[in-house]
Amino acid sequence: MTENVSGSVGRELKLFRLLFVVSALWNFAGAFPGLTDTVGMFQREFGRALIDPVMIAVYRGAWGTAFIYGFGFLMVAYNPYRHTGIVLMGGIGKLLFALNLLGMYLSGWTSNFAVLVIVGDLFFIIFFAYYFLRLRQQGCKIL
């Protein structure tokens, strides 16, 4: 698929670009406080104190990964037809994280704040799946 597109494909390209900019912002919105106030973010998400220095480093590292994926989603926004691997890895990461967090929520291990994270990530998973479906329908190579 070329960048010089018009009509419905051109509108869809703009929507995909917007989707990935919003995806990046979503990641940055969680990652920034997760990196700068790791203990406070853990408290909001799990409703308990985080005091073990090893676990603080592990939790901060997870937010570092989310931060890096934010930049990846910006790359996808620039060219949605080229960076499908980033979307695949980021989408699988969001799916696994949402499922894990849902399991923890249902077990009573998280605060209600986790519901926002779960629903937000599921939103992106659904739209990422639609993105892959549309690429395939347009004859684009996904990987």
Q: Is residue 83 part of a domain?
A: yes
Cα–Cα dist 75/131, whole Å: 15
How many domains in the chain? 1
Q: Is residue 131 part of a domain?
A: yes
* Per-residue 3-state assignment (H helix, E strand, C coil) for the chain: CCCCCCHHHHHHHHHHHHHHHHHHHHHHHHHHHHHHCHHHHHHHHHCCCCCCHHHHHHHHHHHHHHHHHHHHHHHHHHCCCCCHHHHHHHHHHHHHHHHHHHHHHHCCCCCCHHHHHHHHHHHHHHHHHHHHHHHHHCCCCCC
Question: Residue 141: what pLDDT?
Answer: 81
Please determine, for residue 140, whether its predicted confidence score (pLDDT) is greater than 90: no
The 10 Å Cβ neighbour count of residue 55 is 12
Please determine, for residue 4, whether its predicted confidence score (pLDDT) is greater than 70: no
The 10 Å Cβ neighbour count of residue 51 is 9
Q: Is residue 16 part of a domain?
A: yes
Q: Is residue 27 part of a domain?
A: yes
pTM confidence score: 0.88
Q: Is residue 1 part of a domain?
A: no
Please determine, for residue 30, whether its predicted confidence score (pLDDT) is greater than 70: yes
Question: Residue 1: what pLDDT?
Answer: 46
Write out pLDDT tens, residues 82-119.
999 999 999 999 999 999 999 999 999 999 999 999 99
Q: Is residue 2 part of a domain?
A: no
What confidence category does residue 3 fall into, taking pLDDT thresholds of 50, 70 and 90?
Answer: very low
What is the span of the domain harbouring residue 24? 7-137
Q: Is residue 44 part of a domain?
A: yes
Please determine, for residue 10, whether its predicted confidence score (pLDDT) is greater than 90: no
Q: Is residue 143 part of a domain?
A: no
Please determine, for residue 76, whether its predicted confidence score (pLDDT) is greater than 50: yes
